């Protein structure tokens, strides 16, 4: 499909002259004679004429100039090739992402560097040294591999090296890059639910459904409210687990819920410091589900 050449400016002489007259009261309120006999109006119309002629030329850029513009991005016009096709190839080169600057771009290149990476998180770590300015900064790529049967998936050394090499070549000069695995905080959940008397599920079926719901919700791959993986550094809240469990078919309500064996814990932080929270995910160390009837 040929690339359409836009009309850079479609204003004509009459529109330019009218626009010029409309600006006189704003910038020169003392200028009150706007008749054609006024020398200022003559100059205004002369400039409008010259501008109209310039627009005409702008909208008719010669093909040799268009080919030269394409050459600025290393696209050479082939013999006999329409200039529109050359410009289309040049546009593809411009739109192609070759460098990683933002966090989203770094994460995107990390996901595409090798197969088997499910999630990537960029964390900027700064080391404050009193005698050094500016502060030393390291861009950490936290990688979560796609190991659905592993409650705490960690990339191996080969995968970390492959991602590092793939992303480093696209980073800006001077970027200090490090590929690493996430930190996992083990969480134990003990829950007792009351079965809905109207449900067709038995106790074993309800227990299995609750186990699946809690496991999915806390999963580093499919956890969280949107199912895209538990948010890095996000605490585990009792209230959210209550909601997840009570949405399960066959559950009337939650009778008891313990986090790490403590019934009084309402929020369970994944790490104490901000740096560790930024790279921390939750892993389900133990889950026990008890079901009782009303």
pLDDT in tens, 275-285: 888 889 999 99
In a domain, 6, yes or no: no
- Specify the pLDDT at position 134: 66
Q: Helix 157-168 crosses helix 103-113 at what angle (to 10 degrees)?
A: 130
3-state secondary structure of 259: strand
Q: Both 257 and 170 in a single domain?
A: no
Q: Both 86 and 113 in a single domain?
A: no
pLDDT digits (tens, 9 = 90+) for 191-227: 999 999 888 888 899 999 999 999 999 999 999 988 9
When pLDDT is averaged across residues 71-95 and rounded to a whole number, the result is 88
Q: How confident is the model at residue 124 (pLDDT cuts 50, 70, 90)?
A: confident
Q: Both 212 and 285 in a single domain?
A: yes
CA–CA dist 110, 121 (Å, integer): 9
CA–CA dist 177, 171 (Å, integer): 9
Burial class, 183, CB count within 10 angstroms (exposed 0-12 / middle 13-18 / buried 19+) = buried
In a domain, 1, yes or no: no
- Which residues in 88-196 belong to E strands, given as ranges? 117-127, 136-145, 177-180, 183-195
Residue with tokens 């026990």: 288
- Beta-strand pair 117-127/136-145: antiparallel
Q: Above 50 in pLDDT, residue 137?
A: yes
CA–CA dist 166, 160 (Å, integer): 10
Cα 58 to Cα 6, 52, 62, 66, 82: the distances in Å are: 11, 10, 9, 12, 20
Residue among 245, 233, 235, 222 at smallest CA distance from 266: 235
Q: Above 80 in pLDDT, residue 166?
A: yes
Q: Both 265 and 172 in a single domain?
A: no
Q: Both 126 and 216 in a single domain?
A: no
| Residues ≥6 apart with Cβ < 8 Å to 253 | 193, 194, 246
Q: How many domains does the chain have?
A: 3
- pTM exceeds 0.75: no
Q: Both 271 and 191 in a single domain?
A: yes
pLDDT digits (tens, 9 = 90+) for 41-66: 999 999 999 988 888 777 777 888 88
| Residues ≥6 apart with Cβ < 8 Å to 274 | none
- Specify the pLDDT at position 1: 47
Q: Both 268 and 243 in a single domain?
A: yes
Residue-range definition of the domain harbouring residue 126: 103-180
DSSP sequence for 228-247: S-PPTTPPEEHHHHHHHHHT
């Amino acid at each position: 499909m040929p690339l359409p050449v836009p009309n850079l400016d479609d204003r004509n002489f009459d529109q330019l002259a009218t626009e010029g007259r409309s600006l006189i009261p704003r910038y020169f309120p003392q200028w009150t004679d706007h008749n054609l006999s006024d020398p200022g109006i003559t100059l205004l119309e002369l400039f409008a004429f010259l501008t109209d002629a310039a627009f005409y030329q702008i909208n008719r850029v010669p093909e040799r100039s268009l080919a030269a513009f394409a050459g600025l991005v290393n696209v050479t016009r082939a013999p006999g090739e329409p200039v529109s096709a050359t410009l289309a190839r040049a546009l593809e080169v411009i739109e192609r992402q070759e460098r990683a600057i933002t966090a989203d771009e770094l994460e995107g290149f990390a996901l595409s560097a090798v197969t088997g990476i499910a999630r990537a998180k960029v964390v900027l770590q700064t080391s404050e040294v009193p005698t050094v300015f500016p502060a030393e900064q390291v861009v950490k790529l936290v990688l979560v591999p796609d190991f659905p049967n592993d409650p705490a998936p960690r990339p191996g050394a080969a995968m970390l090296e492959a991602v590092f090499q793939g992303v480093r070549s696209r980073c800006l000069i001077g970027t200090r890059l490090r590929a690493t695995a996430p930190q996992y905080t083990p969480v134990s959940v003990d829950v007792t639910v009351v079965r809905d008397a109207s449900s067709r599920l038995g106790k074993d079926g309800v227990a299995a459904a609750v186990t699946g719901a809690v496991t999915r919700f806390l999963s580093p791959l499919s956890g969280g409210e949107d199912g895209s993986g538990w948010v890095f550094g996000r605490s585990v809240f009792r209230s959210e687990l209550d909601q997840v469990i009570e949405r399960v078919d066959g559950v009337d309500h939650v009778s008891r819920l313990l986090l790490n064996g403590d019934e009084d814990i309402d929020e369970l932080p994944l790490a104490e410091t901000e740096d560790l929270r930024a790279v921390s995910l939750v892993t389900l160390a133990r889950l026990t589900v008890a079901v009782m009837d009303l």
